[in-house]
A and B are shown apart, each in its own frame.
Chain A
Amino acid sequence: KAGVTQTPRYLIKTRGQQVTLSCSPISGHRSVSWYQQTPGQGLQFLFEYFSETQRNKGNFPGRFSGRQFSNSRSEMNVSTLELGDSALYLCASRAGTYSPGELFFGEGSRLTVL
């Protein structure tokens, strides 16, 4: 069974641009969540999607948004990029439903903002 797949793996953007990251969950998993990892703030929860609905959101500005498609694939978008958005963005999936279940992570998308 394929794992969680994130694309692109690496990207470089300049301030003011926007970026879209993609995440394909493990087959059959309906919940996808996103995280940001920076040296200063560590690993922080961005948002969680289940059946195309955002169920939960972390404390990030509105420039950070996401969505989930009917096939459970998810995208996150960051608009008006700032230098501080440089980070490793991780996506995780799990089966979902009522019980939390185990989270499985992708390899991440490393974003550099110049």
Chain B
Amino acid sequence: GIQVEQSPPDLILQEGANSTLRCNFSDSVNNLQWFHQNPWGQLINLFYIPSGTKQNGRLSATTVATERYSLLYISSSQTTDSGVYFCAVERRENTGGFKTIFGAGTRLFVKA
């Protein structure tokens, strides 16, 4: 099956710093999403980005599907950005449905 690797696994930043999180996947996919998991466990949608570039405030993401990677950029980080960031990919199965595969996540801690 598809393998999803996220890097770095852990990241500590000073407030105000910028960072880049990476997601590599081993095969073609139909869907890619980035999530932020809050302290209570809920996955918050950041980007739905099977290809191309999107921006939302201080966050932006780029997926290069032909090279099988996606990047999440966080600029001017804030303490509230702390948490775990997950990349999830999906591919259509023969059944017509989709199987979601998550990376192991990047744990980010932003120091005040």
Contact between chains at B42 and A106 (CB < 8 Å): yes
**Complex alpha-carbon distance, A99 and B97, angstroms:** 10
Known interface pairs A43-B86, A108-B41, A110-B41. Does A103 touch B100 (Cβ–Cβ under 8 Å)? yes
**Complex alpha-carbon distance, A103 and B35, angstroms:** 10
CB distance from A5 to the nearest CB of B (A): 12
Question: Would you call A62 an interface residue if the criterion is a C-beta within 8 Å of the partner chain's C-beta atoms?
Answer: no
What 1/0 mask marks residues of chain B from 23 to 40 whose CB sits below 8 Å from any chain A CB? 000000011010100001
Question: Would you call A64 an interface residue if the criterion is a C-beta within 8 Å of the partner chain's C-beta atoms?
Answer: no
Contact between chains at A102 and B33 (CB < 8 Å): yes
CB distance from B104 to the nearest CB of A (A): 5
Tell me how many residue pairs across A and B have CB atoms closer than 8 Å: 66
Contact between chains at A42 and B43 (CB < 8 Å): no
List, in ascending order, chain A residues with CB within 8 A of B40's CB: 107
What 1/0 mask marks residues of chain A from 39 to 57 whose CB sits below 8 Å from any chain B CB? 0001111001010000110
CB distance from B61 to the nearest CB of A (A): 13
* Residues of B within 8 A of A (CB-CB), count: 26
**Complex alpha-carbon distance, A55 and B105, angstroms:** 26
CB distance from A18 to the nearest CB of B (A): 23
Contact between chains at A37 and B41 (CB < 8 Å): yes
**Complex alpha-carbon distance, A58 and B99, angstroms:** 8
* Residues of A within 8 A of B (CB-CB), count: 27
List A13-37 residues whose CB lies under 8 Å from chain B.
Answer: 31, 33, 35, 37
**Complex alpha-carbon distance, A103 and B98, angstroms:** 11
Contact between chains at A90 and B104 (CB < 8 Å): no
**Complex alpha-carbon distance, A37 and B40, angstroms:** 13
List A72-113 residues whose CB lies under 8 Å from chain B.
Answer: 88, 90, 92, 99-108, 110
Residue from A43, A44, A99 with most neighbouring chain B CB atoms (10 Å): A43
Residue from A56, A99, A105 with most neighbouring chain B CB atoms (10 Å): A56
List, in ascending order, chain B residues with CB within 8 A of A56's CB: 93, 95, 97-99
**Complex alpha-carbon distance, A37 and B104, angstroms:** 11
